[in-house]
Amino acid sequence: MPAPVLVTFLAGDEGPWRIEAIEPYRGESLARATRLDIASGHVVAPARARWSLRGSTSNARYVERRERRTLDALQAPLGRPEASRASLIPVRKSAEWWELTQEERRAIFEERSHHIEASLPFLPAIARRLHHCRELGEPFDFLTWFEYAPGDAGRFDELLMLLRATEEWRYVERETHVRLAR
């Protein structure tokens, strides 16, 4: 487990990733832009950025040891040459979610919504990195970054539909899907 890494996603007209679509799912969308850049560390968004979102990697909050072992054995790293499609999904959960205690959130997240278990069939095709931003004064709680090959784009949409149908997702009050290609 490396130390937390702060990451800034910068949308504008520069960067290695082409923004193919911005699809609001719940709440306010994000402004249109053509390119996405990803910077490490504390970055001041340049004036030309349409929007910027910051998040930090962190320790796992819900995964238990046996699940950790399964995930470690299955998951792929970011940056695979064939993974030329990506999705950035900023999510904010409701105050009601954050008022729940850890064991109540875990029960909804995994015992009832099977967030981890349901994601396993999509590994290693879909690589993922989660960034936390609730404590950074950002408009979202999480920024999840996914990478996959063009041929797995349909599988990715399937995973998304599956998660959005869960009890956990009732607590999502803002979510936008930024589809990318490079």
Q: Which of 29, 52, 56, 144 binds a second copy (CB under 8 A)?
A: 56
Q: How far is CA 175 from CA 46, 83, 140, in A?
A: 24, 23, 8
Residue 1 binds a second copy, judged by CB under 8 A: yes
Is 170 marked active-site?
no
Q: Which of 68, 80, 164, 170 binds a second copy (CB under 8 A)?
A: 68
Residue 58 binds a second copy, judged by CB under 8 A: yes
The CA distance from 19 to 23, in Å, is 11
User: Smallest distance from the beta carbon of 107 to a second copy, in angstroms?
Assistant: 11
Residue 154 binds a second copy, judged by CB under 8 A: no
Q: Which of 4, 16, 124, 150 binds a second copy (CB under 8 A)?
A: 4
Q: Which residue has the tokens 């609730």?
A: 134
Nearest to 11 by CA among 180, 175, 182, 149: 180
- Cβ closer to a second copy: 141 or 152? 141
Residue 61 binds a second copy, judged by CB under 8 A: yes
Active-site residue (options: 128, 155, 164, 182): 128
Residue 132 binds a second copy, judged by CB under 8 A: yes
Q: Which of 18, 32, 48, 134 binds a second copy (CB under 8 A)?
A: 134
Q: How far is CA 106 from CA 29, 69, 135, 148, in A?
A: 28, 18, 20, 27
Q: What angle do CA 96, 68, 39 make, to 5 degrees?
A: 70
For the chain, the farthest-separated pair of C-alpha atoms sits apart, in whole angstroms, at 46
Nearest to 20 by CA among 38, 1, 34, 41: 34
Q: Which two tokens stand for residue 68?
A: 């950790």
- Cβ closer to a second copy: 85 or 131? 131
Q: Which of 21, 31, 48, 64 binds a second copy (CB under 8 A)?
A: 64
Residue 7 binds a second copy, judged by CB under 8 A: no
DSSP letter at 125 equals T
Total site size for a second copy, rule CB under 8 A:
29
Residue numbers annotated as active site: 128
